[in-house]
């Protein structure tokens, strides 16, 4: 084996403009030692990017070299004792497919040349070979190797970005549908088709999608905001698996108003089958996710009109106060009457209870009172009967319940059965108006009182923590001190202050530690123990996490000022 020495390698492997060139390893195979040395040592290879030249005097030795080294180019005689060059070429094709081969032969046999080219030989040269001619062939082979490497690098780069794109594709698809729901899709059919192709959405311009609105009506388990968001995500994933069905084409998302939605790309699918899968989904939600869900199956809609169809489904949801955990076939013409109201006047549009809930949350009582009065006046002018008043009653109570739940307070703790009893309210729109305003006033007063109570509890907690900073404080101990349930206490504290009880305790202790470090010369370990930290290393780590510096550095900085 012959290796180019370091002196001959110095300064080589660069193009004229200074760009690095990839280096090449070359193997020369010939059973005639003079012919072998004539190529490896008799030709000046310095001006080519060849880092290593290997030698082999037989095919078995050549195979060992190929197994031990990454060889880019092989120059081989064909006629050799034992295994010949053709066998070596077949081995290279199987074991080293990226390696180029140049054949040398003393016989101009057509069948040799034909087989060599069939197996991918780069060049076929007759002996005796002119060294300049061989060097030029090697130069072309090196250029081919560099081109293949560049192509491979490009393909690897493309594959890397393709994997990144694929991993981000669900997010991009959801963003596309958010734009659709906001009415911001391109109006041009050609542009829309390009976006379908870009995001791998199996639709064509002019196609329709079937929207299914998922209404989460009640959680059987108590959830905080984070857990509820996680569970809603799980419900959307389950809907995609159960409802999309054999088409395997659809998207599950949550729009900007927090409405959960499923879009089926095969809008022409058998509607009865879709409705049945929705029923299976509702059963799964009750069994596995412990919640009550209804599905509102809309009509096939162009993506550019999805916002209007979703609003229609939302109106039907607001009107549906009598059929929980149901599949609502919201086909053409579906309205409040189709949800079981029935009777004269039942087809009237119900008030926007969801918007009323937002008003109540924002404290807009005067505006809400006006809206209630206007809605009931319109119902009277339209000849509303008892069925319509019942729909109003259930929708209104549902709105109050949802609003109080968003405040973290079950409505049953604020309003008695006597408060919400419809009684005489169903006799006329005027009686319903009086009842609704009276119930609104009681709810608002109860929420305000609860807010004052919550503020008092928070003040007690903070006072208790400040008085017991020298102890190892825990949630259960604090809850006993203020006579509250520990889990409720944690939720209340986070809701009212925006931070967890644990974080508040740590913050209060660190503030006390900072004052002691600034104003005393007590040992830092004693300060830590005095704040209930039995492990100094934990205190030091917590202190640096909160302040950005160690206790020692903090004292040094502030006592030197």
Average pLDDT on 82-90 reads 85
Write down the pLDDT at residue 420.
64
Residue-wise pLDDT for 7-33, tens only, equals 333 334 444 444 456 789 999 999 999
Q: What percentage of the chain exceeds 70 in pLDDT?
A: 80
Cis amide prior to 110 (ω within 30 degrees): no
Residues 6+ apart with CB under 8 A from 63: 88, 91
- 325: pLDDT strictly greater than 70: yes
- 412: pLDDT strictly greater than 80: no
pLDDT tier, 409 (very low <50, low <70, confident <90, very high otherwise): low
pLDDT tier, 404 (very low <50, low <70, confident <90, very high otherwise): confident
- 236: pLDDT strictly greater than 80: yes
Of 412 and 352, the structure prediction assigns the larger pLDDT to 352
Write down the pLDDT at residue 4.
43
Average pLDDT on 309-325 reads 75
| Average pLDDT in the chain | 80
Write down the pLDDT at residue 15.
43
Distance from the Cα of residue 65 to its chain's centroid: 49
> What does the alpha-carbon distance between residue 163 and residue 503 come to, in Å, rounded to a whole number?
39
Residue-wise pLDDT for 88-113, tens only, equals 988 998 899 889 999 887 766 666 66
> What does the alpha-carbon distance between residue 414 and residue 137 come to, in Å, rounded to a whole number?
92
CATH 3.40.50.2300 for domain 6-152: yes
Q: Mean pLDDT lowest for which of 177-181, 506-510, 557-561?
A: 557-561
Average pLDDT on 537-549 reads 86
Write down the pLDDT at residue 18.
43
Average pLDDT on 320-325 reads 67
> What does the alpha-carbon distance between residue 339 and residue 320 come to, in Å, rounded to a whole number?
6
Write down the pLDDT at residue 141.
93
> What does the alpha-carbon distance between residue 508 and residue 17 come to, in Å, rounded to a whole number?
64
Write down the pLDDT at residue 313.
87
- 61: pLDDT strictly greater than 90: yes
Closest among 291, 166, 308, 274 to 221, alpha carbons compared: 291
453 exposure class (CB count in 10 Å sphere: 0-12, 13-18, 19+): exposed
Q: What percentage of the chain exceeds 90 in pLDDT?
A: 17
Write down the pLDDT at residue 219.
79
Write down the pLDDT at residue 109.
66
- 71: pLDDT strictly greater than 90: yes
pLDDT tier, 57 (very low <50, low <70, confident <90, very high otherwise): very high
> What does the alpha-carbon distance between residue 101 and residue 105 come to, in Å, rounded to a whole number?
13
- 447: pLDDT strictly greater than 80: no
Residues 91/58, Cβ–Cβ less than 8 Å: no
522 secondary structure, DSSP code? -
- Domain residue ranges of the chain, discontinuous segments joined by +: 6-152, 189-339, 359-443, 468-559
CB atoms within 10 A of CB 80: 20
> What does the alpha-carbon distance between residue 100 and residue 64 come to, in Å, rounded to a whole number?
17
Residues 353/364, Cβ–Cβ less than 8 Å: no
Average pLDDT on 114-121 reads 71
> What does the alpha-carbon distance between residue 115 and residue 127 come to, in Å, rounded to a whole number?
18
Backbone angles phi, psi at 52, to 5 degrees: -155, 135
411 secondary structure, DSSP code? G
Q: Of 264-268, 280-284, 481-485, 505-509, which one has max mean pLDDT?
A: 280-284
pLDDT tier, 143 (very low <50, low <70, confident <90, very high otherwise): very high
Write down the pLDDT at residue 343.
41
What architecture (CATH level 2) is domain 189-339?
2-Layer Sandwich (3.30)
- 426: pLDDT strictly greater than 70: no
Write down the pLDDT at residue 2.
46
CATH 1.10.10.60 for domain 468-559: yes
192 exposure class (CB count in 10 Å sphere: 0-12, 13-18, 19+): buried
User: C-alpha distances in angstroms, 514 versus 139, 351, 354, 525, 559?
Assistant: 73, 57, 49, 13, 11
Rg (CA), the chain: 40
Residue-wise pLDDT for 202-213, tens only, equals 898 889 999 999
């Amino acid at each position: 084996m012959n290796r180019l020495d370091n002196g001959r390698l110095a300064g080589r492997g660069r193009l004229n403009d200074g760009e690095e060139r990839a280096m090449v390893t070359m193997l020369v195979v010939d059973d005639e030692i003079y012919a072998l040395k004539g190529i490896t040592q008799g030709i000046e290879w310095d001006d080519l990017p060849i880092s290593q030249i290997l030698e082999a005097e037989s095919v078995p030795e050549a195979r060992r070299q190929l197994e031990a080294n990454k060889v880019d180019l092989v120059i081989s005689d064909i006629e050799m004792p034992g295994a010949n060059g053709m066998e070596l070429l077949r081995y290279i094709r199987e074991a080293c497919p990226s390696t180029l081969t140049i054949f040398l032969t003393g016989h101009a046999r057509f069948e040799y040349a034909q087989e060599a080219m069939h197996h991918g030989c780069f060049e076929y040269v007759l002996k005796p070979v002119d060294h300049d001619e061989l060097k030029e062939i090697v130069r072309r082979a090196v250029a081919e190797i560099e081109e293949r490497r560049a192509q491979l690098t490009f393909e690897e780069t493309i594959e890397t970005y393709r994997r990144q794109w694929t991993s981000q594709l669900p997010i991009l698809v959801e963003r596309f549908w958010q734009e659709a729901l906001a009415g911001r899709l391109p109006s041009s059919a050609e542009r829309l088709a390009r976006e379908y192709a870009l995001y791998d959405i199996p639709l064509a311009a002019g196609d329709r999608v079937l929207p299914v609105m998922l209404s989460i009506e009640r959680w059987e388990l108590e959830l905080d905001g984070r857990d509820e968001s996680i569970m809603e995500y799980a419900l959307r994933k389950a809907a995609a698996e159960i409802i999309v069905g054999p088409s395997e084409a659809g998207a599950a998302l949550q729009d900007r108003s927090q409405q959960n939605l499923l879009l089926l790309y095969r809008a022409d699918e058998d509607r009865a089958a879709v409705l049945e899968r929705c029923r299976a989904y509702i059963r799964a939600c009750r069994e596995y996710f412990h919640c009550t869900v209804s599905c509102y199956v809309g009509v096939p809609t162009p993506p550019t009109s999805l916002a209007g169809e979703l609003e229609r489904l939302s109106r039907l949801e607001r009107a549906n106060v009598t059929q929980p955990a149901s599949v609502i076939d919201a086909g053409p013409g579906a309205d409040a009457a189709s949800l079981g109201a029935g009777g004269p006047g039942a087809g009237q549009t119900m008030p926007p209870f969801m918007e009323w809930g937002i008003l109540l949350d924002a404290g807009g009582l005067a505006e809400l009172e006006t809206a209630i009065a206007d809605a009931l006046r319109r119902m009277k002018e339209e000849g509303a009967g008892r069925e319509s008043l019942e729909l109003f009653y259930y929708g209104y109570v549902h709105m109050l319940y949802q609003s109080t739940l968003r405040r973290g307070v079950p409505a049953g703790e604020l309003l008695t059965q006597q408060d919400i009893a419809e009684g005489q309210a169903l006799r006329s729109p005027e009686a319903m108006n009086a009842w609704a305003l009276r119930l609104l006033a009681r709810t608002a007063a109860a929420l305000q009182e609860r807010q004052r109570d919550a503020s008092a509890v928070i003040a007690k907690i903070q006072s208790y923590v400040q008085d017991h900073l020298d102890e190892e404080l825990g949630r259960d101990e604090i809850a006993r001190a203020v006579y509250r349930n520990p889990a409720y206490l944690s939720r209340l504290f986070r809701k009212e202050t925006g931070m967890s009880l644990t974080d508040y305790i740590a913050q209060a202790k660190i503030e006390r530690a900072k004052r002691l470090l600034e104003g005393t010369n007590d040992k830092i370990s004693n300060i830590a123990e005095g704040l209930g930290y039995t492990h100094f290393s934990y205190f030091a780590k917590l202190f640096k996490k909160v302040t950005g510096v160690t206790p020692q550095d903090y004292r040094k900085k502030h006592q030197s000022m």
